Structure 1
Amino acid sequence: MTIIENEYLKVTIRSQGGELTSIYNKAAGIEHLWQGDPTIWGWHAPNLFPVVGGLINNELLVDGKTYPMQRHGFIRPTEMKLASETTKQHALFTLPYSDSTLAIYPFKFNYQIIYDLIGNALRVTYKVVNMDKKAIWFSVGGHPAFNVPFSSTEGSAYEDYYLEFETGEKLDTHMLSADGFFTGETRHVPLDGPKLHLTRHLFDDDALVFKKLNSRQVTIKSDKHEHTLSVEFPHFNYLGIWAKPGADFVCIEPWLGCADSVDGPTDITKKDGIQKLEQGHVFEAAFYVSI
């Protein structure tokens, strides 16, 4: 495990998937990250690359050829290398292309996750370097799960919490099939002013997926106390919000990319939200978790 720390936060990251396993609020004594109960949902904060969401038949289509690709890509189970320039408040994990990645994703890349502590905020940066002799195509995203309630000792219930959007919104979620593919239908999600109240049935139909948000920040709040946690995603056009029904967490997921639709597989170059990176170029996108 790798630990970065300052006066506000202590953050722990594992090499598998370069995944956050703890965001500890030192002043309040609060663990904000879901601790991965395997009987409910065994992850903490997966990093998503080179796809976001599921693919028809778990296959990635590239130029008429299919490649096996699991939901959310191949980063989650993969060991990443901790770079030597890691410091007390900065950690860099890398995954370069290899024969094993080329067998399932026919592009040459260097994928990096960079964690930086900046005051009371953790910045998570995704960096992709094109190592190929052609343009490469990919999606990136985060999937952090935050404890709700914040603490088991505070005397609050899940339903005492809400998500507050940065600006006024008319929320329409893009509906998913039972297999996790977009149906082409949308459903209105009612708000209480800027607030989306958390309930045990909010995610009965899977994740809420928003593709046209004005807000670039969502904050977890409760009227029972003053502690808050905000996720700011200035570089991400899509946002997923999800929890296992009945579980004591909520995921706030900044995405650049989406699952396939029920209509069938789509070539990677035409996938919703896909990123194109020209030869010799570098891509970066960051989101922030602040307390």
Structure 2
Amino acid sequence: MAIVTIKNDTCTAQVDSMGAQLLSMRFDDREYLWQRDERWWGRTSPILFPIVGNIRGGEAMSEQGPCHMKQHGVARNYEHRVVDVAADGTSVTFELCDSSETREQYPYAFRLNMTYALVGEATLAQTFSVTNTGSVTLPFSVGGHPAFNIPVNGTDEAFDEYDFTFAEPWHAECPKIVEGGLADPTDTFVVLDDGDTLPLTRSCFDYDTMVFSHVPGNTVSLTGRRSGHGVRVDFPGFDYLGVWSMAPDAPFVAIEPWTGHATLTTEDDVLEHKEGITLLAPGATDKRAFAITLY
């Protein structure tokens, strides 16, 4: 296991080779990323692959046979090999390939490369590159799960003194998360009704996670009203956004770009049939990136 530090003149980030998990983002002497306090949640920013969320009962069928995966898949639970560090120290790339152990859970051949790169003054780009190294179509989803301190370190704002801001007014309706971690599209709740600002409150998480579809502009910001400090996440190519905190009082919020989501209560249990699933041809590579900007 290794922790790799990347930095530029203004920003520093650390990534753990275990799970290729982002551990720290510091800007202006402030730590923005949640620091793995086991009293609430012992992770910081896990990688979600080859599923996002839960599949029914932890099991699904696929064209290659049965899949047995816990929430968010396999990538977060394995050591990722460092394959490149930029000469100027501003980026690092990790690699995870299938193994006999992963194939017992997910019977496919793959290569997952994760690149973290500092760009500009205070922006981190996180790139997922998935290559199908097998001879059959690869069904998968990817997602990020960065959790941010509330309040941002060095400020004294309360949890309910932050606002989410979207690119434009819109109607946002989210499915409720039900038993087993599935999403129920027949039982939804309205989060925004022709608005662009969502105040952060504990009641946002009455149904565990807010799962947004097709967010305008594929961008969202979370900002403290008094300090003006916060984060912006830009996620082109990700059709879904999860926003989560742990009840009743966790001092963080996760802002999670996803290409897929948990199994719907209305779906069957075939991986290839899941809404949002990517079907990648043999030899092909799928690349997606989102960016975190601190301010």
Q: TM-score, normalised by structure 1?
A: 0.94
Aligned to 2:141: 139
- Please list, as runs of the form range in 1=range in 2, the aligned pairs for 1:37-116 lying within 5 A after superposition: 37-63=37-63, 65-87=65-87, 88-116=89-117
TM-aligned CA deviation for residue 7 of structure 1: 1.5
Distance in 1 between the 2:10 and 2:31 partners? 12
TM-aligned CA deviation for residue 261 of structure 1: 2.3
Point out where structure 1 has 5 or more consecutive residues left out of the alignment: none
Partner letter of residue 68 of structure 1?
Answer: H
Partner letter of residue 253 of structure 2?
Answer: V
Distance in 1 between the 2:79 and 2:126 partners? 18
SS of aligned partner of 2:217: coil
Deviations 1:77-126 (A, max 9, x none): 21111114444001001001111122221211101111111012100000
Aligned to 2:174: 173
Say whether the 8 Å CA contact 2:64–2:107 is kept in structure 1: no
Distance in 1 between the 2:283 and 2:212 partners? 32
Point out where structure 2 has 5 or more consecutive residues left out of the alignment: none
Distance in 2 between the 1:102 and 1:69 partners? 11
Aligned to 1:198: 200
Greater share of helix: 2
Structure 1 residue 221 and structure 2 residue 197: aligned?
no
Aligned to 1:15: 17
Percent identity between matched residues is 32
Partner letter of residue 138 of structure 1?
Answer: F
Q: How many residues align?
A: 288
Partner letter of residue 48 of structure 1?
Answer: L
Distance in 2 between the 1:71 and 1:180 partners? 8
- Please list, as runs of the form range in 1=range in 2, the aligned pairs for 1:113-132 lying within 5 A after superposition: 113-119=114-120, 120-132=122-134
TM-aligned CA deviation for residue 3 of structure 1: 0.3
Partner letter of residue 278 of structure 1?
Answer: A
TM-aligned CA deviation for residue 213 of structure 1: 2.1
Distance in 2 between the 1:77 and 1:4 partners? 22
Q: TM-score, normalised by structure 2?
A: 0.93
Aligned to 1:261: 264
Say whether the 8 Å CA contact 2:57–2:180 is kept in structure 1: no
Distance in 2 between the 1:89 and 1:107 partners? 32
SS of aligned partner of 2:143: strand
